Structure 1
């Protein structure tokens, strides 16, 4: 889960729906939602992509494919002038790099879109990660900073893949409906592009709409543990006037964020004047005997979302990993925020559809019980399916990461990235452009933790396709020839004579094989004539 309260230098994203941005004063032993990792991360220690290996280098396995992105190998990349990618989180971890456009392919679909090339990071949260593919909502209310240009937020990849103005051609193969569905199993997940496959659910899919413009937030009216209500509203008879009139208005609710980057059910734990009168997480913890690793009660959670109750049984909210790793997947919401996070504990049992066809209007959310007999990646006429590989986060094992393959450039460079419904960011770890190119596009002195193209590498490499770097290579070749010419002139007649002697020796050495070839050809002709 990578989109926490986040800040871009040129593009500012504000999102408070995630757990990671907690005060450093909190105690990890007492608060499972607290940020445990405040030591800076240095890439040379370990920055391997999933599933990683003992050598800790950034390269994908044969299973997931790919390495970090190399912009010099794509002939379709275009750098954005002064396009600095800068994403900062509330705990001061950050990602920095450049912005560019290129052909990006996800599953069967591809288009030209903007992305961030991440060239440096300081956070251990991104170990074994090649990038982030956010399928969240565009940030419509960016925070402006004094003296900074007005933010121009790029649209997430899903929006560019479904742009109705773009027609299919060599650079574009478009997804016709701006909708997708998501669910997970114990070790995998599936993304259904274009809607939902009815075969993947049992019974009816219940529909509701989002209640916030920047998140997949739905109204949570009640959370019961067994038969005990955990959300004790100050005025349970209050009607909330959101999207309704008169008696049809909603009963009190908290916003529930549907987030693929969260493993657990995250409960608020602070009373809210005029809204919430109790501490839900503390109440639940008391009910289970105070020990989240060995709960005395194994009741089912009953979560009421927009009038429909969804069950989360003990087998889903308690994680059995063996020995001391067993734990309850129920967490405290940090910072006193009055909201609920619903993560993998829901996606394991239910298929969740996100229909953005009417955006910027409310998003239609559909939730249906997952069919246990459904086989992942089953062919469908109109729904395209992508399998994601699932694993706990490398550092914070209370969060979940789903890895999918995305391809960038011409020819395609495939790499595994994290799929995240709680983020709108699309960025991949990347090598830098050369110093001269960086200066030309307004990013001189860009920090390059993962390699940079130098003049020497440009001269030596034969796989450069990027037009900008090909131009730089030609300049480097001319510069090298000029330097060589100056060296020869500085050496005087003796140097020229030595060069001439070397050339003569080279030419004479060529005479032997040429003469041999001539004799051999003559012999063949004589044989043919005599026969």
Structure 2
């Protein structure tokens, strides 16, 4: 159990049809006075951030979560990452900030051609790259980075862009591939590669990267967070919206016969990872999950955002409330029963 915010007003069109926001960001990015960031409220060790009123009935044993997406859906993995979802073990790198999930990028190549062609080859060079669920494409600078590179990276990409080629990005010395099928948007028949906004000489790693890689956010030490990265296993199927994950810890339930404890079906699930289904809009610009608040539960569809530390539900409905919906478990079950009838 934890507190959450009640949003009274919103003038951001990206929230049209959404019931609120599920911020998974770092605690230093939180606005003073808001409730404890949810990732801390859910964990057994809240890092000294909780107040006296926090009571947690279902805790994560590790203050970590992972994120991935596919062509159809996505998944949040709470409490760590599922090794079955990756083709290799995670490699961990430190973040360059305590307010955003930013890592160092030393190299970005396309078709074997370096886009970050550093003038000074004698000393280490890098630019920041923010892992952001609120970003769709691969966003790269279109400037000379204050004279540090010989060519504008985005302009150079445009001049050599060829279908079928992969990007390769070096993050803190580790090389990762972004295959063609993930950076090319079939719906628009165009590359999902954009120039960085003016004033930001860095990279934004959005949905293009979350389709290529599984990214784990390790907040065990909130002021020294780590980011884990591994290639995504293309054969791994995320849990579908409207379905339930396996029970990992004992759950207290109430029925007409009284209160009882439901145990996990297998011992291996006790300290396992919880899989939360994620859906997205048609243009892959937003991710959504269902949350339940109160007793009896009220169901809400909220926006997932690693750039925010706020968990808030609209107390007043936004102008276009209600046109976005993620299937709930009971809805899927009822549809299945109707289909069998």
With the shorter chain as reference, the TM-score category is 0.7 to 0.9
How far is 1:429 from its partner? 1.8
TM-score in terms of structure 2 length = 0.77
User: Unmatched 5+ residue regions in structure 2?
Assistant: 240-244, 247-267, 322-341
Aligned residue for 1:203, secondary structure, equals coil
In the other structure, the counterpart of 2:275 is 385
- For 1:450 and 1:367, the matched residues in 2 are separated by 37
List per-residue Cα deviations over 1:297-356 (Å, max 9, x = no partner): 4321111111111111221111112xxx32210001111311100111111121111111
One of 322, 332, 335 as aligned partner of 2:198: 335
The answer to whether residue 161 in structure 2 is matched with residue 271 in structure 1 is no
Runs of 4+ in 1 over 4 A off after TM superposition: 448-451
- For 1:358 and 1:328, the matched residues in 2 are separated by 37
One of 150, 165, 170 as aligned partner of 1:299: 165
One of 8, 13, 23 as aligned partner of 1:124: 13
| CA-based RMSD | 2.7
In the other structure, the counterpart of 1:161 is 42
- For 2:132 and 2:300, the matched residues in 1 are separated by 23
In the other structure, the counterpart of 1:457 is none
In the other structure, the counterpart of 1:363 is 225
List per-residue Cα deviations over 1:22-51 (Å, max 9, x = no partner): xxxxxxxxxxxxxxxxxxxxxxxxxxxxxx
The answer to whether residue 311 in structure 2 is matched with residue 311 in structure 1 is no
One of 181, 200, 203 as aligned partner of 2:88: 203
Q: Is the 8 A contact 1:270 1:336 kept in 2?
A: no
How far is 1:122 from its partner? 2.5
In the other structure, the counterpart of 1:243 is none
- For 1:431 and 1:212, the matched residues in 2 are separated by 34
In the other structure, the counterpart of 2:297 is 412
Aligned residue for 2:90, secondary structure, equals strand
- For 1:139 and 1:208, the matched residues in 2 are separated by 19
Q: Is the 8 A contact 2:65 2:79 kept in 1?
A: yes
How far is 1:213 from its partner? 1.3
Kindly report which structure 2 residues correspond to 1:71-470, keeping only aligned pairs within 5 A, or say none: 111-115=1-5, 117-139=6-28, 151-152=32-33, 154-164=35-45, 172-238=57-123, 251-273=124-146, 275-288=148-161, 296-321=162-187, 325-360=188-223, 362-377=224-239, 379=246, 381=269, 382-392=272-282, 397=283, 400-431=285-316
- For 1:170 and 1:206, the matched residues in 2 are separated by 34
List per-residue Cα deviations over 1:80-120 (Å, max 9, x = no partner): xxxxxxxxxxxxxxxxxxxxxxxxxxxxxxx22231x2233
Higher relative contact order (CA 8 A, sep 6+): 2
Aligned residue for 1:139, secondary structure, equals helix
- For 2:166 and 2:230, the matched residues in 1 are separated by 18
Structure 1 pair 190/306, CA: closer, same or farther in 2 (3 Å)?
same
Structure 1 pair 113/264, CA: closer, same or farther in 2 (3 Å)?
same
Q: Is the 8 A contact 2:288 2:303 kept in 1?
A: yes
Structure showing the higher strand proportion among its residues: 2
Q: Is the 8 A contact 2:64 2:217 kept in 1?
A: yes
List per-residue Cα deviations over 1:204-236 (Å, max 9, x = no partner): 221111111111111111000111111122323
Q: Is the 8 A contact 2:78 2:273 kept in 1?
A: yes
In the other structure, the counterpart of 1:480 is none
Q: Is the 8 A contact 2:16 2:319 kept in 1?
A: no
In the other structure, the counterpart of 1:34 is none
Aligned residue for 2:62, secondary structure, equals coil
- For 1:176 and 1:330, the matched residues in 2 are separated by 38
Bigger Rg, which one: 1
Q: Is the 8 A contact 1:237 1:252 kept in 2?
A: no
Aligned length: 289
TM-score in terms of structure 1 length = 0.51
Q: Is the 8 A contact 2:77 2:275 kept in 1?
A: yes
